[in-house]
Amino acid sequence: MAFYDLEIVDQQRHLSASAPDRGEALAIFGKELGLQLSLEDTDEAFAVYLLDEWEVGPHFVDPTIRVFATPM
């Protein structure tokens, strides 16, 4: 199981979760935020989120994977 950290850039806030894959992690974060999150950019999506992924062990959080959101 991997660990994920989602940075909400405009709020300087982080959410953390463990999940079997990125898709499940995005579903967990999306449910908490009330948004549909995706790694794919669309015309109506906006990106104010960055995702970090790592396995067990010491880790500096450094979110660099852009995540796009659309309202549910």
Enumerate the domain spans of the chain. Answer: 2-71
Gyration radius from the chain CA atoms: 12
At 47, which amino acid appears?
A
Question: Cα(68)–Cα(27) distance, rounded to whole angstroms?
Answer: 12
Q: What are 5's two structure tokens?
A: 């950290």
Beta bridge partners of 34: none
Q: Give the tens place of pLDDT for each residue, 10-27.
A: 888 999 999 999 999 999
Q: Are strands 35-38 and 65-71 parallel, antiparallel or unpaired?
A: antiparallel
Q: Give the tens place of pLDDT for each residue, 57-72.
A: 666 667 788 898 887 6
Report helix, strand or coil for 37: strand
- How many residues are present in the chain? 72
Quick check: pTM over 0.75? yes
